[in-house]
Amino acid sequence: MLVLGIESSCDETAAAVIDGGNQIKTNVIASQVNIHAPFGGVVPELASREHLNRITQVVDQALSDAGLSLSGIDGIAVTQGPGLVGALLVGLSYAKSLAFSLNKPIVGINHIEGHVFSVVFENPPIEYPAIALIVSGGHTTLFLIPAPEQYAILGRTRDDAAGEAYDKIAKLLGLGYPGGPVLDKLAQAGDPDAARMVFTIPRMSGNLDFSFSGLKTAVVRFVKENGIEPVQPGESAGADIVNLAASFQEQVIKSLVGRLKDAVARHPPKTVILAGGVACNSGLRRAVTEAGFKAPVYFPSPLLTTDNAAMIAAAGYPKLLRGENHGFTIKAMASMNLANFALEGYELTRKGPYRHQD
| Partner from ligand KG4, Zn ion, none binding residue 316, C-beta < 5-8 Å depending on class | none
Neighbours of 68 (CB within 10 A): 16
Question: In whole angstroms, how close is the CB of 11 to ligand KG4 at the nearest point?
Answer: 8
- The residue among 354, 347, 299, 357 whose CA lies nearest residue 154 is 347
Looking at beta carbons only, is 24 or 134 nearer to ligand KG4? 134
Q: Is 7 an interacting residue with respect to Zn ion (CB under 5 A)?
A: no
- Give the ranges where the chain is alpha helix by DSSP (H): 33-36, 44-65, 85-102, 111-117, 162-172, 179-189, 213-225, 239-266, 282-289, 302-305, 310-321
Residue 331 and residue 154: Cα distance in Å, rounded?
A: 27
Entry field: residues in the chain:
358
Q: Is 281 an interacting residue with respect to ligand KG4 (CB under 6 A)?
A: yes
Residue 144 and residue 341: Cα distance in Å, rounded?
A: 9
Q: Is 178 an interacting residue with respect to ligand KG4 (CB under 6 A)?
A: yes
Amino acid making up residue 352: G
Q: Is 114 an interacting residue with respect to ligand KG4 (CB under 6 A)?
A: no
Q: Is 136 an interacting residue with respect to Zn ion (CB under 5 A)?
A: yes
| Partner from ligand KG4, Zn ion, none binding residue 178, C-beta < 5-8 Å depending on class | ligand KG4
Q: Is 80 an interacting residue with respect to Zn ion (CB under 5 A)?
A: no
Among 50, 160, 250, 307, binds ligand KG4 (CB under 6 A): 307
Q: Is 166 an interacting residue with respect to ligand KG4 (CB under 6 A)?
A: yes
Question: In whole angstroms, how close is the CB of 145 to Zn ion at the nearest point?
Answer: 17
| Partner from Zn ion, ligand KG4, none binding residue 108, C-beta < 5-8 Å depending on class | none
Residue 129, sorted as left (phi over 0), alpha (psi -120 to 50) or beta, turns out to be beta
Q: Is 305 an interacting residue with respect to Zn ion (CB under 5 A)?
A: no
Q: Is 129 an interacting residue with respect to ligand KG4 (CB under 6 A)?
A: no
Q: Is 91 an interacting residue with respect to ligand KG4 (CB under 6 A)?
A: no
Neighbours of 7 (CB within 10 A): 31
Looking at beta carbons only, is 247 or 267 nearer to ligand KG4? 247
Looking at beta carbons only, is 50 or 167 nearer to ligand KG4? 167
Q: Is 155 an interacting residue with respect to ligand KG4 (CB under 6 A)?
A: no
Among 136, 150, 243, 271, binds ligand KG4 (CB under 6 A): 136
Q: Is 280 an interacting residue with respect to ligand KG4 (CB under 6 A)?
A: yes
Q: What is the DSSP letter of 157?
A: B
| Part in contact with ligand KG4 (CB under 6 A); list of ranges 48-56, 94-102, 162-170, 230-238 | 162-170
210 pairs with which residues across the strands?
157
Looking at beta carbons only, is 130 or 162 nearer to ligand KG4? 162
CA distances from residue 245 to 22, 186, 191, 285 in whole angstroms, order as listed: 36, 6, 9, 17
106 pairs with which residues across the strands?
76
- Cβ proximity of 208 and 262 under 8 Å: yes
Question: In whole angstroms, how close is the CB of 325 to ligand KG4 at the nearest point?
Answer: 26
Q: Is 27 an interacting residue with respect to ligand KG4 (CB under 6 A)?
A: no
Question: In whole angstroms, how close is the CB of 136 to ligand KG4 at the nearest point?
Answer: 3
Looking at beta carbons only, is 248 or 293 nearer to ligand KG4? 248
| Part in contact with Zn ion (CB under 5 A); list of ranges 43-51, 120-128, 135-143, 258-266 | 135-143
Question: In whole angstroms, how close is the CB of 112 to ligand KG4 at the nearest point?
Answer: 8
CA distances from residue 145 to 114, 128, 274 in whole angstroms, order as listed: 14, 7, 13
Hey, is 20 helix, strand or coil? coil
Neighbours of 78 (CB within 10 A): 31
- Cβ proximity of 129 and 144 under 8 Å: yes
Neighbours of 340 (CB within 10 A): 15
Site residues, ligand KG4 (CB under 6 A): 10, 136-138, 163, 166-167, 178-181, 184, 276-278, 280-281, 306-307
Site residues, Zn ion (CB under 5 A): 136, 307
